Structures are given as C-alpha cells and as structure tokens.
Structure 1
Amino acid sequence: MKLERALKEYEERRRKVEEERKKLKEEYTSRLLKRKHEILKHLEKLERKKIPENVDDIIEKIVERERRSYVDTLRRTLERIESIDKLGKFLPELSKLHVSHGKYLLLVFEKEIYAINRLLREISEDYTEYINRMAEIDIEPVELNSILTGIKTTREQLEEAERELEFLRAKLEEKEKELRTKEFEKMLEETESNVKILKSSIARDEIEIRSKISKLHKPIKRLRTGEKIADEILKDSSYGIEHPEEFLSFLIKIRGRLEGKYRQTADWIVENLEPKSGEIMEKRKRLKELMHRRHEILQEKREIENEIERIKTLILEKEARIKRLRERLLELERELHESLSKLERILNTRINL
C-alpha cells in the first residue's frame, strides 16, 4: 500500500476511534453525574435527618461533628468532579471517605451511609470499567507527517550547510594562496634591510656633524657670547643639525674670532652643514616612509591572517552543524522506520514510501 493511502486509512480509523472514545466518555460521564446527583440527595437527607432521641448526649455531639465533617468533605469533593476523566484524580479521596466516615455516624445512620457507600463503590467500578474499555478502543499514535516534514527540513538544512562549507573552504584556499603569493616575509625583509641601511647612514651623518660641532664647544664657551643658541649648542650638539640656519648665522658671526683648527672646523661646518642637514632630513623622510610601508605590510598581513583564522573558525562551526544535522537525520530516519512498522502493524499491510 502507498504511504499516502495508508495515512488516509489510518486517519479514518483514528477518527472513528476518537468518536467511539468520545461517546464512551459521554456515556460514563452521564452515569457519573447521575450517581453524583443521587449521592448529593442522600447527603441532603443525611444532613436533615434527626438523631434518635435515645442516643446519649455525648454520642450525639460526636455524631453531629462526624456528620458535618463527612457531609462537607464529600460534597466539596463531588462538586469538583465534572467528568469521568477528572474522577481519577479524586478517587483516593472518595475511597478514603468510603471508610473514614466515623464509627458513631455509621451506628446512628447506617442505612444512609451504606446507601452512599454503595453509590461510591459503583462510581469506582464504573471508572475501572471505563478505563478498561477506553484501552480496548485505543489506537497507537503515529507521527509520520511530522517526521517526514522533519526529514525534509533537515535535508534542506544539511544541503545548505554543505554548500556553505564548500564556499568557506574555497575562500580559505583563496586567502591562503593570497598570503603565499604576496610574499609578505620577503617584502618585510627588504623593507627592514632598507630601514637598517638608512638608519645607519643617518647616524653616520649626524655623528660626523655633531663631532665637528663638539670641537667648537671650547671656543664657544670661552667667547661667552651670552646668546641662547650658544647655550643650546653646549648642551647638545644636535641642536645645530635641527636648526642649521640659526646655527650658521651664529657661526658666521663668531668665525672671525676663531683661530687655527677651530677656524677650519667652522669653515667646514659653514660649507657642509646646510647640505648635510638637508640630506639627513631627506633620509629621515624616506625612513618615515619606509616605516609606514612596513606598518602597511604588517597590517595587510595581519588582516589576511585574521581572515584565515576567522574562516577556519567558521569551518569548524559549520562542520559541527553538519555533524549534528546528519545525526538528526539518522534519528529521524530511525523514527520513520519505527513509525512505518507501527502503521503496518495497525493496518496489517505492507507500506511503500
């Protein structure tokens, strides 16, 4: 039998079973309500009935207390029972009332108590009979539609996750290739080498000029010009490199007062300071550009590496999701097999998907 036809037949049987169960529930609820009404009537009679005059006063008080407790408790319990299905919840209470009415109450109102107990027993017997009959006309639940929907949805999710995984793997391969082909290490090595060479060249030039300026410290100090630049030069010879025009102007003013080797040094500085300082400034500019370039290379390299790590993390997450979906699909297929076997047993026929 085709699955579609089998499901229709099952639904028809289930509908008939539900109708039978509904009728059975209505039948036994009607019985219950009838007996409940009879018990309530007996309780009213019991409540109104006078205690015989020959009963001892002490016993009479006990009977009154027992009657009030018995009637109130039983009435309150019965009022909460609206259908045969709700009866099961209150059966323990009713069974307790069946035997815990009080011995003096039973002695005085034996006939009334026995009448109520008979009805309580019939209610209990009806409930047992109802449960047994409901079990006989029950039909096993079969969740094939929800399972088939679950399988379809899970397969679609699995296919989508596998496509996304392939895309991520291709993206990872692309980024790893980009990292290899851009030869960041080689570019960094070349940049570092140029930085080192340039720094060394700047240092040599600065040392040469500072050395020449330092040779003039003694005569500058001796001249006591009182100028600010003289103090700056005596504190740090590099001041002359950083402020060449100011220093040259000062040097030209005092050059005529210098003699011998100091005059020669001053002449060299006047001739070379400006072009040398310009070269140093140009080299520093190139050095700054190289440092910026190194930063850009490192940043680009880090960005690609970070992207690679991000993609790897996404791949791991996607692989874990695919594993869960495959496990879910296997579980649903197992449930489908079990449900099909159950449906075949119910319909007593072979079912083809």
Structure 2
Amino acid sequence: MATKNGVPYRLNLVSPSMYGIKCPYSMRATKATVHETDNNASANNEVVYMIGNGNQTSFHVGIDEKEAVQGIPFNRNSWHAGDGGNGYGNRNTISFEICKNYDPNKGTTKISGSQLTAYNKAKANAVKVIAQVMIEQGINGIVDNVKTHQDWSGKLCPQKMLREGLWIPMRDQIIAEWCRLKSGNKPSVLKPNPKPLKDGKVGDTVKVYNTLYLTSTGGGASAKKRGKQGKIKRIVRNSKKYLVEDWGWAHPNDIQLVKRASSGSTSKPSNSKTKTVTIDKLNVYTSQSLSSPIVKTGSGYRILKKGTKVKVTATANNGQLVHGSKNWSEVDSWGWVPSVYLR
C-alpha cells in the first residue's frame, strides 16, 4: 500500500459525474483546514459515505488510527468550511477530517480507553499526512496556513480539540513536522534519558537531552538545542513543565541536571499569599528580569491590570534591581513580577 509520510494512504476518489455536487470548482490550495467528524466511524467509512450520497458536503481526506483515505482530488474544491459558495475556506483550502473523536453511545467527546488510544493515533497520523500534503501542494508551513472549521464559519469544529485546549498544540505539531520534512531531517531516536531531572527548581542549570517544545502542553517539538546547557526559567503544572531559557518547554525526561541553583535564591512559601497589583499594567515575565520574554497565553500575553488579585507561589531575592529591590515574586505559577508592584 502507498504511504504518505509513513502513514498508509489510499485513494477512493469521487466519480467525475459527481463533481458538480461535491467539488465543482478547480482549485490551487493555499491553506489546510482541520475538522473532526464528531462520530466514531473509520476514515474509509467516512469517505465511502461522502462520495456516495447526493449531499453537497464534502472533504478531501479522512484520517483514522490506521490509514488516510482521499475522496476529493486536491485540484478540486470541497464543501466543508461553511463559508459559502465563494468562501475562502471552501474554495482555497484542503480539508482533513480526523476520525474516532466522539462517543456516540454517550453523546460526548469525553472518550477513554481504546477509543482514546485510537483518537490519539489518528491525530498523530494526521500531523504526518497534513504536513506532507502541505509540502506536496506548495503550502507554506506557517500558523496562518493551518486553520480550523471554526476559523471560517464559527462552527465549533474540530470540537474535541477546541473544547479541551488541544488545537494549538496540534497546529504547532503540524508546523513542526512541516519544518522537519522541509529540512530533510529524519526523526531522532535516542535511548531513554538515563538521568531524568528530579525536582527541578527555577535557576537550576540543565542540559537538554532530547526535545524541547514550543508549548508546555507539547506542541512544536524541536531538537535544535539538544546538548546545550541553560537555566530553568519557569515551572508550570503541565506535562512539559520546565521552561529552559526562552528555548522551549521540557518534560523531566528531556533534560538532565548540571548544577543546582544557589541555595536560598528562590523559595516556595509554605502557603501561597494573595497579593494585589498596584500599577496599571504589570507584565508577567518568564524569569526575574525585565528583559525576559513576557509569558504567552492562548490569546496574547499575560499582563495584569491594577487591582488584580494573585497568589505568590514562589519568591526570589536575586532578580533584576527594580526600584531599589531585587525581590521578585512568581504569581499563580505562571511567571515572575517585581515584588515592589504587589502589596
């Protein structure tokens, strides 16, 4: 069987006699659009149903945990985006349906067990296939070129990913895979880290053993900093909990301890203390310096308004001097602010 970036890939194209209904316009795609099927059918069943009925709704590729199946030629449009007959999504983007994302017996996206395993594998296959198709179709691997159904018409789709905060990591993985394919690099295979980091602290010097990630939830993997040493700038509760410099986020298995931070430089209060922001706008930084990056959020940057209540989750006494004080406070486990701006 043919493959696309290692994923089994089959063609089951709609009959040309159905072009007038399913894909009436020629197209040179400029972006990719990602959907979820909201059911538990296989990619093959989705495509067979789509090309065999008389409804206009159509999509290019279905992807599940076993394979990808193409139903519409890439040089024809598909009716998937809900933005009208001349809508950009419908007329200029390749549509991908990710399967196995919904439990019809419970009427919910809250899946578990073997279905969750299948869904996660379908997503992993989708990352590989979408990135490869983008390369083949000349679509540049940038954020603006990897879209959701919601971007075009407001529909909550891909529903599971949008509801559970999984879309941004998914998008970033597609872009990272596109970059890997474009550069010709092969995936790195390493033995398990023999000395994973235990109980890391802000200020610890660590060596990057494996991969760093663009987000703390695992999006945008990169091995560019492998072997480099840097300091932990921030710790959060997600799986990739350690921010190393401004390079990226690491799981404990991705880094090794080189040197502990100076004792007493950073401490955790026995009980998180609630403080109030005293200036109009207070940036939250990734480390104890005004030149550090501001903490990014899903909608921009973490900037606190005057009067905002925060919990101090750690303190440091060796940060950049601000208004005569080197004391900094970690707020809500997100990042650092000069303590002089809290009361």
- Superposition TM-score, scaled by structure 1 size: 0.16
Structure whose residues are more often strand by fraction: 2
- Superposition TM-score, scaled by structure 2 size: 0.16
In terms of Rg, which structure is larger?
A: 1
